[in-house]
Amino acid sequence: MAHSVRRDCPELPDFFLLKRLARDQLIYLLEQLPGKKDLFIEPDLMSPLDRIANVSTLKQHEVDKLYKVEYKPVLSTSDQLCFLIRPRIQTVKWICDVANADKAAGKCRRYKIIFTPQKFYACEAVLEEQGLIGDVTTDEWSFYLLPLDEDIISLELPEFFRDNFLAGDQRWVRTAGSALHLLHSLYGPFSKVYGIGRCSKMAYESWREQVEEGEQRAQHAEIGKVFLIDRDVDFVTPLCSQVVYEGLVDDIFRIKCGCVEFGPEVTSSDKSMKVMLNSQDKVFNEIRNEHFSNVFGFLSQKARNLQTAYDKRRGMDIKQMKTFVSEELKGLKQEHRLLSMHIGASEAIMKKKTKQDFQELLKTEHSLLEGFEIRESISFIEEHINRQVSMIESLRLLCLLSITENGLLPKDYRSLKAQYLQSYGVDHLLTFANLRQLGLLVEQQPGETLTVMESKVGKLVNDKTAGKLSDAFSSLARKSNFRALSRKLNLVPKSDEEYDLRVPRDMAYIFSGAYVPLSCKLIEQVLERDGWTGLEEVTRLLNGHEFAVTGSNGADSKAKNDAQRIVLVMFLGGCTFSEISALRFLGRERGYKFIVVTTAITSSSRLIEALLDNHV
Amino acid sequence: MAFITANWNPLGEAFYRKMELYEMCWSLGDGLRDCLVAAAPYGGPIALLREPHRRSPSSRPQLEIYSASGVAIASFPWKSGPVVQLGWTVSDELLFIQEDGSVLIYDVFGSFKRHFSMGQEVVQSQVLEAKVFHSPYGTGVAIVTGSSRFILATNIDDLKLRRLPEVPGLQGTPSCWVVLTQDRQTKVLLSNGPELYILDNTSCTAVCPPGLGPQAGSIVHMSVSFSYKYLALFTDTGHLWTGSSHLQDKLIEVDTKKTTPPKQMVWCRRPKSQQPSVVLMWDKLLMVAGVCQDNIQFPIEDLCVLVGELDGVRIISSTNQELLQEVPLVCQEIFKIASMAPGALLLEAHREYEKSSQKADEYLREIKEQSMLGEAVRQCVEAAGHEYDSNTQKSLLRAASFGKCFLTDFSPDPFVSTCRELRVLNGVRESSVGLPLTHTQFKQMTLQVLIDRLVYRQFYPLAIEICRYLKIPDYQGVSRVLKHWASCKVQQKDLTDEAIARAVCVKVGDSPGVSYSHIAAKAYECGRTELAIKLLDFEARSGEQVPLLLKMKRSQLALSKAVESGDTDLVYTVVTYLKNEMNRGDFFMTLRNQPVALSLYRQFCKLQEQETLKDLYNQDDDHQELANYHVTASYREKRLDSRLSLLQSAVDEYNKAKNEFSAKATEDEMRLLRFQRKLDDEKGAGLLGLSLQATMEALLALGLHKQAEQLYRDFKVPDKRYWWLKLKSLAEKEEWDELEKFSKSKKSPIGYLAFVDVCMKSNNKYEAKKYVSKVTPEQRVKAHLAVSDLEGAADAAIERKNESEMGAVLARCSASDHLLIDRLNRAAAAKK
């Protein structure tokens, strides 16, 4: 493709090791419970587990039957039950019910709970409360990181976002720290760590603590720099509609754990098909980062190439034909299959997205980002609500409006909210309370009372505990400063110039040239400046909590230049495929390789769904 | 150096030597007479309890503790009850077994640690005899009670008393008894007159040592070896029987020709040696009896005490202390007169070399010819380890080092480590320290234990020196010593909190592995809470501070430290603790000051205790959250009236929170619910719980236009919404006449393009066309295009002279529409 690729990009480290470590530990844990046993798996651990150890591996280690945790009485006849779960109180309670029911029925079984990635005191407290400490053994499977692709690693913890940012529950911070610690011990030592956000800072501290506790092995660093970023630093980017191929596929078909299920409308048969989407898929690898408008052109070019390759057969003699069949045909067939699948997917996307509605939606988003024609945008959103186009989409637009406009006028706030409630039910009052708490959808305060409070809090921040006190609910007082940030960092390119999406000139291409994602822009700036100097105004607008720390081996960092250009970016609270595409673009431009570590892959709808609080 | 063998005494194939370890530093007036003496193995301390039997209120027995070299460590009058037996534990604690069965434990400095009892029955029957023994499980205590029962505790740190079965025919104490540890079981072997019994947990078995004839008489003394492998029995006819402690093999039976039982009888052997022997002591005689018929006899002048060691016997008298041991084989080989062992030759070679004599070369050649130089060096190194005299050590090591020069690939490790270890051993053998350890003992007890013992005896500087000298990693070495030092320091009562805290901080600094919280815990144990808090301040990891703070009841501080640590498990631990500890009000108030803890607790309550959640909000007067809580609760409620009452509470709370909007919305919801209920009752519409929009949709679908209209008015539904709704609903039901009527009812607030679009969605072009004319001029082209009326669209576009609209029409034209295309192009051109 037409990108100006820097040829000297360093090689990525191999993350297969992470999988092997996780698998070995799981096997060890299963063997701790000798004999045949039935394994109950938390539904959202199914797919990650599948990537680590498949059914036959489990069977080899005396797992008899596999069940999904469904909060129903168990039908298993085995006398050993093993539960592989996330540390959630609800699940532990269910296991207690199972054990107590067995007790009442006079059944004697052995129970073992394997918490992953770690156990929480609260879960053990439930066991204790129910008097089952003696009957149930617990263990930890420290499966922190699942490599989804060669440059994406996920913690597969979608609840991180809600727990940490909405509920103010910091239990996962240590998990993030441990994940970082694992990466550090395998691929470090890191020479430089940057970060922004309160959670990032805490995760960083937790990691440092673990480093100090453990022994340090001297080794060759494979990852040089690390950037930690909280999701609440940038809510705008994940709220925008994705238009890069991989992002679009995620928005429409929902990629789950690196795997997508294409329905009949894509496969053009009556069966749906599960496909792994990663760099192994050659066709996908070439289009995943492309703006959707280029994808068709690319695919048809590819199809023509393929045809030419097939056509070579004509005029071949027997011998040539033999080599063709044995060497090329399989590859071509494979490519053919992939190509037709992606063409099918693109068609399905076109059907859904190129309608006028979508164009207008994008237009509204762009004017919100630019800050023009706000009234029109508001009436578009109003109509969107009134016509009940989509519960999630409407909320998304409302949030985007609120963040970019620094809150809604009281009149608008009320009327839009009232209309939304009429459309989708009063229970969404709670959803609105959540959104307000996160600062995603707020009312503009009459007379800037907030700033006064802010400055007061600011004075207190020097005092450590006072800082922590005020931090805990800082999001309540959080004020979006999107407009000012956008000006400072030049996030919205001037719209009068034509933007050629085939030859992107900056990261804005992932949003059709309308907006450079804030999160990625920050990363770019900090890497360029090797710290936060010169960005003081920006960090002030972002509520601070920025840090840049040089590692212990900072001195010899110059020698190992390759590792220095491998940058690990950790998103606490999730990141979108569009952001990953933008970072890949940035990497190509600047000769970096980015490794994205995220608590989970997110998208606008996942983000909003996490904040819903209606009773369904 | 012929004199090295001067104190060697042959016994069978082996030699025994008696070396002086110390001239005792103590000056005991009465010697060891009338004393209860306990000396710990591995060169441990010695305790004397003088005159324990003479009881009068004015003169209490005096307890004295000395190091092995006789340096006084502690001395105090014994004020507790009469003591039957003294003994040392493996961790150098002193046990006093009293007549009433209570066992008091003191540390080496004479301060009381704790006590335990050997059982209630003993208080009545009294302890007649007691023994302290060591086994892999720790230190144990065995007693014989006045009712001739044996009671055992295998490990005093994990006290489990075992009452052994009765011994048939036993009255009072047995003639003699020992405790055996065999096959992971602790047993007692005892003799009662001519009978010999083994007592284990369940049974009492009469046994007979093989080869001990009845003519030998009854057993009056017995002794078991350090490793519990061998047993020695002494009979009243003066026969000494030795054999395995399993009583399956006999080693030898000797007639000592002594009819009085010995005062003490102790095994003397070294590991791996095939020559076990027994040391017997009478008033004036010390006899070493080996496996051959021979024996060695030493006259003794003074009263002595024998202490069995791993590789010999220590003989403590009131003036000096000696070690009696079998000469190690390697030393024999080197020092035996006229020995031609490679080590001996090497030693000789080196001696000649120092004299600058060419004989050195001859000797060396001789060794090398047999290619035994490596062996020679090894022998010298090993022998040096066994020698107690530093000059002998030096000459052996020099010889080894000399021999090493002629070897190319010889690992220097054994040499280096022996040098180092000897330096350490010589250091601790110093009379001022008084740990007369042999190299074999040192290897057995390990360096870690040695350091522990030094620390325990408070030789901190020496311990640190040793750690540094042997380059032990800080974690296991220096830091550990510092930790103990600090724990000891905080107990010094004469210093102020401030001074101690400073001293600790200066010394410990931030050595890895020293936990200030641990030191603080010690301070707290000694009742110095303030000091503990001061020390905790030095602790870098806030998480470590929490458990102790909780213990000290500084729960508020604990909570904030837990929050600071970022470890939510810890926060939760504190919260649970506080919850049980405080009354509810205080608990909530505490949480209120700690938002992190509060939100954590809220999360927990949401899943576990909904009611508590309500109380929490109530306490905080958080009306907003309280209202939200009621709303959530209302959805769990099946019955309408309770649901309404919950919503009413929510309304009240919202009003209190001055959130009029939410209050109004909730009121509306209540109104809607009532309305839905009414209609459900009347028409069975199934509306309950639907949103306003969904309700209206359902009503329209059911054809209940009037009711829908009523909702539209009552709830001030915006016109636009209602129009969209009705439009869609009518189109879906294909009630085209109704739709037309509706379109004419008043001017459409959503325009008429919507009508066109909706009709087209239902594929009704005919109906759609009806509305095209009503569309505003701006949207007319779009409307025409929507119904695929290209001509109309073209007309409208040309009429409006709008280029982009003309373009839009053009884009839709196919090649067959060339007339139209021409027209549009002309119009476009005309405009330009």
Å between A550 CA and nearest CA of chain B: 21
Query: What one-letter code names the amino acid at B690?
Result: L
Shortest CA distance from A207: residue in chain B? B566
Find the CB nearest B665 among A90, A125, A421. Answer: A421
Distance CA A488, CA A471 (A): 25
- Whether chain A has a CB inside 8 Å of the CB on B669: the answer is yes
Nearest-CA neighbor of A133 among A116, A113, A161, A153? A113
Distance CA B545, CA B558 (A): 7
Q: Above 80 in pLDDT, residue A300? A: yes
Look at domain A147-234+517-610 and name its CATH class: alpha beta
**pLDDT at residue number A602:** 92
For residue B55, being part of any structural domain is answered with: no
Q: Where are chain A's structural domains?
A: 15-143, 147-234+517-610, 251-352, 355-445
Provide the β-strand partners of residue B181. B186
**pLDDT at residue number B546:** 79
**pLDDT at residue number B831:** 63
Distance CA A565, CA B724 (A): 56
* Lowest model confidence (mean pLDDT) among A422-431, B343-352, B798-807: B798-807
Tell me the chain B residues in contact with residue A93 when contact means C-beta distances shorter than 8 Å.
Answer: 607
What angle is formed at CA B720 by the lines to CA B753 and CA B695, rounded to 5 degrees? 120
Query: A371 phi and psi, to 5 degrees?
Result: 85, 25
For every residue of B558-618, DSSP letters joined together read HHHHHHHHT-HHHHHHHHHHHHHHS-HHHHHHHHHT-HHHHHHHHHHHHHH-HHHHHHHHH
Mutate to test the interface with A, among B580, B591, B631 (most CBs of A within 10 A): B631
For residue B247, being part of any structural domain is answered with: no
**What architecture does CATH give domain A15-143?**
3-Layer(aba) Sandwich (3.40)
- Which residue has tokens 């409208």? B796
Å between A319 CA and nearest CA of chain B: 49
Segment A241-266, tens digit of pLDDT: 888 888 888 888 888 888 888 888 77
Tokens encoding B646: 């919950």
Element (H, E) at A81: strand A80-85
**Sequence-separated (6 or more) residues with CB below 8 Å from residue B814:** none
Find the CB nearest B569 among A121, A386, A465. Answer: A121
For residue B505, being part of any structural domain is answered with: yes
Domains: count for chain B: 1
**What architecture does CATH give domain A251-352?**
Alpha-Beta Complex (3.90)
Verify whether the Cβ–Cβ distance B624 to A433 is below 8 Å. Answer: yes
CB A402 within 8 A of CB A408: yes
CB B48 within 8 A of CB B35: yes
Is B55 strand, coil or helix?
Answer: coil
Q: Above 60 in pLDDT, residue A449? A: no
Tell me the chain B residues in contact with residue A170 when contact means C-beta distances shorter than 8 Å.
Answer: 566, 568, 596, 600
Query: Which residues numbered 766-785 in B keep a CB inside 8 Å of some CB on A?
Result: none
Verify whether the Cβ–Cβ distance B628 to A167 is below 8 Å. Answer: no
Å between B554 CA and nearest CA of chain A: 17
Choose from A552-561, B287-296, B614-623, B756-765 the range with maximum mean pLDDT. B287-296
DSSP structure class, residue B164: P
Round the average pLDDT of chain B to a whole number and report it.
Answer: 83
A388 backbone φψ class: left, alpha, beta (φ>0; ψ -120 to 50): left
Verify whether the Cβ–Cβ distance B569 to A473 is below 8 Å. Answer: no
Could you check whether A15-143 and A147-234+517-610 share the same CATH topology?
A: yes
pLDDT band for A227, please (50, 70, 90 cuts). very high
- Which residue has tokens 């970072």? A583
Tell me the chain B residues in contact with residue A421 when contact means C-beta distances shorter than 8 Å.
Answer: 665, 691-692
**pLDDT at residue number B542:** 67
Verify whether the Cβ–Cβ distance B635 to A427 is below 8 Å. Answer: yes
Mutate to test the interface with B, among A426, A427, A463, A473 (most CBs of B within 10 A): A426
Q: What is the 3-state secondary structure (H, E, C) of A89-154?
A: HHHHHHHHHHHHHHHHCCCCCEEEEEECCCCCHHHHHHHHHCCCCCCEEEEECCCCCEEEECCEEE
Higher pLDDT pick, A356 / B84? B84
CB B163 within 8 A of CB B119: yes
CB A37 within 8 A of CB A45: no
For residue B557, being part of any structural domain is answered with: yes
Verify whether the Cβ–Cβ distance A170 to B604 is below 8 Å. Answer: no
Q: Above 80 in pLDDT, residue B468? A: yes
Provide the β-strand partners of residue A140. A115
> From the CA atom positions of chain B, what is the Rg in Å?
49
Tokens encoding A315: 């005029």
**pLDDT at residue number A354:** 62
Verify whether the Cβ–Cβ distance A167 to B603 is below 8 Å. Answer: yes
Provide the β-strand partners of residue B280. B265, B287
**pLDDT at residue number B646:** 85
The total of other beta-carbon atoms located within 10 Å of residue B332's CB is 19
- Which residue has tokens 């809510």? A235
Segment B486-508, tens digit of pLDDT: 777 777 777 777 777 777 777 77
For residue B234, being part of any structural domain is answered with: no
Q: Above 70 in pLDDT, residue A215? A: no
From residue A272, alpha-carbon distances to A260, A262, A275, A341, B460 in Å are 10, 6, 10, 11, 75
Find the CB nearest B573 among A121, A386, A421. Answer: A121
CB B438 within 8 A of CB B393: no
Find the CB nearest B567 among A174, A414, A473. Answer: A174
**pLDDT at residue number B723:** 82
Shortest CA distance from B631: residue in chain A? A427
Q: What is the mean pLDDT of residues B416-433?
A: 90
Tell me the chain A residues in contact with residue B628 when contact means C-beta distances shorter than 8 Å.
Answer: 429-430, 433
CB A9 within 8 A of CB A591: yes
- Whether chain A has a CB inside 8 Å of the CB on B607: the answer is yes
CB-based burial label for A456 (10 Å; 0-12, 13-18, 19+): exposed
Exposure b/e, B77-100, CB count within 10 A at least 16 = b:
ebeeeebbbbbbbbebbbbbbbbb
Å between A289 CA and nearest CA of chain B: 30
Strands A152-154 and A593-598 come out as parallel
For every residue of B660-693, DSSP letters joined together read HHHHHHHHHHHHHHHHHHHHHHHH----TT--HH
Higher pLDDT pick, B31 / A147? A147
Distance CA B226, CA A240 (A): 81
Verify whether the Cβ–Cβ distance A422 to B567 is below 8 Å. Answer: no
Q: Above 70 in pLDDT, residue A505? A: yes
- Whether chain A has a CB inside 8 Å of the CB on B560: the answer is yes
Shortest CA distance from A416: residue in chain B? B718
Verify whether the Cβ–Cβ distance A89 to B595 is below 8 Å. Answer: no
Is A561 strand, coil or helix?
Answer: helix
**pLDDT at residue number B1:** 44
Q: What is the mean pLDDT of residues B725-754?
A: 78
Tell me the chain A residues in contact with residue B596 when contact means C-beta distances shorter than 8 Å.
Answer: 168, 170, 468, 472
CA atoms within 13 A on the CB side of A119: 19
Tokens encoding B556: 């508020």
Does the complex come out with an ipTM higher than 0.90?
Answer: no
Provide the β-strand partners of residue A570. A228, A597
Q: Above 70 in pLDDT, residue A558? A: no
Mutate to test the interface with B, among A88, A120, A121 (most CBs of B within 10 A): A121
Look at domain A355-445 and name its CATH class: mainly alpha
Tell me the chain A residues in contact with residue B666 when contact means C-beta distances shorter than 8 Å.
Answer: 426, 429
Å between B693 CA and nearest CA of chain A: 5
The residue range of the domain holding B504 is 331-581
Segment B262-284, tens digit of pLDDT: 889 998 888 777 778 889 998 88
Distance CA A322, CA A324 (A): 5
Verify whether the Cβ–Cβ distance B720 to A383 is below 8 Å. Answer: yes
Q: Above 50 in pLDDT, residue A460? A: no
Exposure b/e, A221-245, CB count within 10 A at least 16 = b:
bbbbbbbbbbbbbbbbbbbbbbbbb
Verify whether the Cβ–Cβ distance A425 to B690 is below 8 Å. Answer: yes
